[in-house]
Amino acid sequence: MADQTKLVWDQEFRARVGKTIAYISSVGKTLSFLDPTSVQMISVVYVRGYPILVYRSGGEERTYLAGCPHKRRPITAPGYEVKEYRIIRCPFHGAEFDLLSGEMIKPPDSKTPCPSPCRLIRAILKDGDVEFQGEPFSPELPKPK
C-alpha cells in the first residue's frame, strides 16, 4: 500500500474542506489549512487587449485595469507588493492603492504628480466583455534609455 502521507502533485491544488481551505504545494509537499478570510489571490486576465487585475479576498472580488494611473505602468510588474492583505504597491514609484476601493493610499515617490483623480480604474466584467469606470489605457513598461 502506498504511503498516503506523501502528497505528490504536478501543480498547486486548492480544495474547500468545510470552512477551511486545504492548500497543497508540490514544492514543499505540505498540507496546511487556512481561514478563507485570510486567503487572497491576485491574477491578471486579458479582455479586449486590456490587462485586468482580479483581486479575491475573503469571498469578495474586485476587478481593475492592471495599470498604475501615475505613469501608466503595469501595476503587477515584477516587484509589486500586496500589503496588509489589500493594499497594492506599484513597483515603479511606490504609489499604493486600496484593492477594495481603488483609492490611492500613498502618493508616488516621484517629482511627477499623479493625475487627478489618482485611483485604480474599475473594470466591470460581463458576458466576456469589459466596461471601465474611467478612461482605460494600455500599461507599458518604461522605454530603455
Q: What pLDDT does residue 59 have?
A: 80
In whole angstroms, give the CA distance from residue 140 to residue 31. 39
Is residue 58 exposed (0-12), middle (13-18) or buried (19+ Cβ within 10 Å)?
middle
What phi, psi does 5 have (nearest 5°)?
-85, -15
**CATH number of the domain located at residue range(s) 40-133 in this protein:** 2.102.10.10
3-class DSSP assignment, residue 37: helix
- Which residue, 138, 20, 143, is CA-closest to 68? 138
- Mean per-residue pLDDT, 32-38: 48
Percent of the chain with pLDDT over 70: 72
Percent of the chain with pLDDT over 90: 55
Which residues, including other chains, have CB under 8 Å from residue 129's CB and lie 6 or more apart?
47, 48
Residue 34 C-alpha cell reads as 487556512
| Residue-level length of the chain | 145
Residue 41 pLDDT > 90 = no
The vertex-45 CA angle with 8 and 118, nearest 5°, equals 125
CATH 2.102.10.10 domain position(s) in the chain = 40-133
